[in-house]
Each structure stands twice: as C-alpha cells, then as structure tokens.
Chains A and B, each alone.
Chain A
C-alpha cells in the first residue's frame, strides 16, 4: 500500500497549484511536444529509426488509441479485448473512401469516426448485457471477426488490403506551407498532436460531467448504479461508441500516412498492446494512460538493436512493472481505492458476478438440529 503514496502526493500537489501555474506548465509541455521531433536528445532518441517517425507511429497513434480505450476500460470499467477492430474500421474507412471514392481526408475523418462509433454500437447493443469476463470474450471475438472479414472480402482488397491511399491535402498555415508527403513525418505528427489535445479536452470534460459520474458508478458497482437511477445500459453503450470513435480517428490518421494497409495491420496483438498501455499507465487516469501508451509504443523502438530479443525484453519489462506497480505508472486515485475493495460481483475481472448463485434454494436437509 505504501506504493500508492509514491505518486498520490504528486497529483495532489499538482491540484493545489494555482490555476495560472498549471496553465503555464501545460503550455510549456505543449511547446516541448511541438519541438520534440526537431530535438536530438541522446538517450531518448531512437538510434535505429527516425525519431519523428516513431513519434507519429507508434507513439502518437498509441496515445490516441489508449485515450479512446481508456473511456471503455478506465472510465466505464468494460474490458475490451478487441479494440483493434475500431482502429481497423477507421483505417479501412480512410483506405477505401480515399482510394475508391477519392474523398478528401477532412471529409473522411468525421465519416470514419461515425462509422467506428456505429461499429461500437453494433458490437455493444447485443453484448453489453454481459458482464466482466464474458464481455471480454465477446469483444475478443469481434476483433477477430473484423480482421477475418477484411482478410476474406475480396471487394475490399482481401489479404492484399488497400493501396494506394491518398495523404491529407497540403495547406498553408500562417504562411507556413504544410505538406503531407512521404518523407517528412512532422506534419502528420502535428495533426495527430492537435487531435490528441482535442481528444483530451473532450474526454476530460466528459469525465467531469453527469456522463462521467455515471461511468464511475457503473465501474464501481453496476447494480448500485442502476439503483441510483443511472440508465446503465445506455451509458455503457455511449462509452463503447465514444471509445470506438476515438479508436477510429486514430485508424484514419494512421492510414492517411502509410499509403497501403492490409488486414495484418490490425491483428489481435495490437488489442493486447493497447490494453497493456492503458493498464500499465494507470487505467482511468488520463495523464497515466498517455504515459503508458508512450512507454509501450516507445520501448520496442528504442531497443530495436536487440533484434528479435527486443520483444522478449519488452515482455519482461511489462511483467516487472506489473509486479511493482499493479495500479499503473500514474494511477487514478479512485481506481487505487477500488483495487483495495473486493468487488461484490460484476465488475471487470470477476467470473460471472451474479449468475443465480445467490438464489439456490436451501435443501431441506440442511436444517440441522
């Protein structure tokens, strides 16, 4: 338990800082992120691949995806093992609408988000009555279905996928010519950064709203939430849709740079890495989730020189981190308390929760003398 206290004072001290100081600090952080692709920091750099490219993918994309998955897993407490499906829906929206219909990027982006949200509702509608592990299995299946459909449908490219895929249009911004080409990853990085900032604003406002309080209540005790008058099913569906929309946005963004996609860009392993990012960083805490995603995405790139051993080293690092900080790098204070409380049934990670166990009628014989 002493471990919780390592980070909690930092968060509390941050809360106590004057508003102006916090604003300046955030602004400084933003400036750092803007100049980051131009910096050559010795240790932080990736010696075997272009640093700015790594900042876009995997790091930036993972951060955006993790922000979306955090709505589902961290806020509403719904375990999703097939989140890559929404990333894929966004990716294929960009690929197909760009390649076949020649829509411009800035039209495809909202359409891709809408389609991903629709996919979230299609998945959630029939399955969100399930809880905990059962829901996790269904989402896992959904991820596989999307992957297999993409692989086996020739009209959307089958196993070969879609190519070529157009880039976002070039434009002038304050006299600076922004060119989305093949070589320079920076414009993509900045566009992604803008999307991440926007997502953070939206998600953290949602978190503080009536919707956010409903999610917290559902996560902590779904039955009790229902008894308080929270329409739990509707809010779980919203969590799925919003999470899916953000995942879809990341898919559109990713695909707009890579020229070609195939079903193998959207494999199950990604779902697990996304989930690892959320849990490792601190499920339910936005700064934590961002940090987790950055770490999960960055480490394998940093240690590319270890060749195939890098994944093994990465796995070992994950295991060690989960042993010493099971609550995540920057845990949410709420979640830390929830971890201490045995769940009465239903929440993430309980087998079945309530499945009629309570009501097994007592056999007559049991009435002892």
Chain B
C-alpha cells in the first residue's frame, strides 16, 4: 500500500515489508515486534549479536517459521499464511545459515534443486541462469559433478548462494554468508553479493561481520534481542559510535550506556577481528 515516506529510493511501496512481526519458540518470544522494509534494488542488512533474532527473521520471511502476530508483505501482498514453497515461486529465495547444501547430491544436482520451484513455462531460461551462476562462481562449474559434501566451506557457501539464485528470485535472503570463512574468501563473497545486486536482485543480508555488511549495504537495521534498536543508511551506522563499539570492535572505553553491549561476535569466528 502506498504509505509514502519510505526511506529508500522511489515512492513505490517496498518489495518486502515486515510490520510488527512477532515470533515465538514455544513460550520464548524470539521476535518482539519487528518492522522494517526492503525496497527493490537495495542491499539491506540486518546486524546484531547471536540470539538477536536475525536468523529467525529470515526464516519467518521464507516461511519455515510461523509468525504469531504481525504482517509480512511481499509486493504489497500479505504472505503471512502462504506456505514456504509458494513463497519461493513468488520470488523469495534463501541461502540458509550453515549453507544447508545437499551433501549427497553433486554440485549440479544442488543447483537443479535450486530451480525446483520453477515448473512449466518458468523453466524457460534455466540454462541462462545456470550460465550466470557459473560466471559468478567459476569454481562451481569446475566441480559440477563432485558431491557437494566434499566441497570446502567456501565452495559450499558459493553453492548455497548459487543454488538460491537458480530460482531467479526477486529478493535473495542471505544468512551469514561469511560464517566460518577465511578473510580473503569473506571479501570475495561480499563482492559477489554486490555483483548479484548490480545484476538486479534485491538482497537482504544477515551478518555478524558488521563491518563488511555495512560497507556493502545501502541501509541497515540493528537487531537486539528480538527488536530493531537502530535503523538508517548503512554509511551512517558505520560511523555511529554505539554501533562501532558493539559490532565493529571499536573502542569500548566510551561505553555510552546504549545497552548495545552484547556484541563481540560469537561462534564461527569470522575473519577480521581476532578476539575482543
């Protein structure tokens, strides 16, 4: 719906919009009313510590987690009750956390699974998508007939992203693509994400590697224990003192009582900062 006053470009309604979304795991309230939006053509990033609700947010958008209250709108349509496989057909595609590749399938079979939702007419142009994925990730072409379970961590991440692209999504959800990768690979993955975005795919990126994510994104939201505590253009957040202290390993001496103290990354240990 035309709501005016969207912080992104153009006056049109956002591609993806979350409106006061609440999600529970049993009695634990994981998302306590999250609202944000993603406009067409943007890279938007959600940053935050472990347990902030980033992954849950993505799972809720892709539909594998039911929401208890609130609305998710995609292209203006409420998709809260749409089953996950239908959402893939609508154009929402996710590369899950921890890659989630199919280890017993070859690289090529994994990519084919990415196009599973495309049937009939929608399968036209599949060869071009495959070619485009191979251009982005030449390594996947080299390994096309290799079992995916035998790939290295970085290659598996490439496969997860490439596979998600095979459904020709309107919005690509990426869950911690830098997790557990060597610094050099992290930089490579992020520049590929930028490239994917340039080719016309909107990206919603969840990251613990806040420095990289903020440099690549146009806008960012900071999540803390199930709430959006800060929002704005990524460049602004990159300069923000509180964000720097909590997520970028900046000087903590300030400790400006913002409550943003639970940062300091967690498991997985992405490249960049050594320890806290």
Given A217-B113, A341-B103, A361-B225, residue A227 in contact with residue B84 (CB < 8 A): yes
Given A213-B116, A217-B113, A360-B51, A228 contacting B88 (CB threshold 8 A): yes
B225 and A221 within 8 A (CB)? no
Distance in angstroms between the alpha carbons of A228 and B63 in the assembled complex:
12
Judged by a CB distance under 8 angstroms, whether B55 is at the interface is: yes
Instruction: Give chain A residues whose Cβ lies under 8 Å from the Cβ of B262.
Output: 362, 364, 366-367
Q: Which one, A221, A359, A364, contacts B28 given CB within 8 A? A: A359
- CA gap between A172 and B241 in the complex, in Å: 91
**Chain B residues whose CB sits within 8 angstroms of the CB of A344 once the complex forms:** 98, 100
- The CA of A93 and the CA of B114, in the complex, are separated in Å by 43
Cβ of B190 under 8 Å from chain A: no
Q: Is the interface of A mostly helix, strand, loop or mixed?
A: helix
Is the CB–CB distance between A356 and B113 below 8 Å? no
Residues in chain A near residue B104, CB distance under 8 A = 216, 220, 333-338, 341
Judge if B83 is at the interface, Cβ distance under 8 Å.
yes
Tell me whether B56 is interfacial, beta carbon within 8 Å: yes
Contact check, A338 vs B113: say whether CB atoms are below 8 A apart.
Answer: no
- Residue among B49, B83, B93 facing the most chain A CB atoms (10 A cut-off): B83
**Chain B residues near A333 (CB-CB < 8 A):** 104
- Return chain B residues, CB-CB under 8 Å to A224: 96, 100-102
* Chain A 204-227 interface 0/1 with B at a Cβ cutoff of 8 Å (1 = within): 000000100110110011011111
Enumerate chain B residues within 8 angstroms of A229, measured Cβ to Cβ: 84-85, 88-89, 116-117, 167
Chain B residues within an 8 Å CB radius of A21 = none
Q: Give the residue name and chain of the B residue nearest to A221 (CB).
A: B100
Smallest CB–CB gap between A56 and chain B, Å? 35
Given A227-B88, A367-B264: A338 touches B103 (CB 8 Å cut-off): yes
Cα–Cα distance between A356 and B263 once the two chains are bound (Å) = 21
Nearest Cβ in chain A — how far from B50, in angstroms? 6
Residue from A214, A223, A334, A364 in contact with B100 in the complex, judged by beta carbons closer than 8 Å: A223
Contacting pair B51 A227 (CB below 8 A): no
A216 and B102 contacting across the interface, CB-CB below 8 Å: yes
Q: Are A231 and B101 in contact (CB under 8 A)?
A: no
A335 to B147, CA, bound (A): 11
CA distance A223 to B175 in the complex (A): 14
Q: How far is the CA of A356 from the CA of B27 in the complex (A)?
A: 10
> Cβ of B55: which chain A residues have Cβ within 8 Å of it?
358
**Among all A-B residue pairs, the 5 with the closest Cβ atoms:** A229-B117, A229-B88, A334-B104, A356-B25, A224-B100
Query: Interface of B with A (CB < 8 Å)?
Result: 25-26, 28, 30, 49-51, 53, 55-56, 62-64, 83-85, 88-89, 93-94, 96, 98, 100-105, 109, 112-114, 116-117, 147, 149-150, 163-164, 167, 225-226, 261-264, 276
Binding site for B on A (CB under 8 A): 210, 213-214, 216-217, 220-221, 223-232, 333-338, 340-341, 344, 356, 358-362, 364, 366-368
Beyond contacts A229-B117, A341-B149, A358-B55: 18 other A-B pairs, Cβ-Cβ < 8 A, are: A213-B116, A214-B116, A216-B102, A217-B105, A220-B103, A220-B104, A221-B102, A226-B85, A227-B94, A227-B100, A228-B114, A229-B85, A232-B85, A334-B104, A338-B149, A361-B28, A362-B262, A367-B262
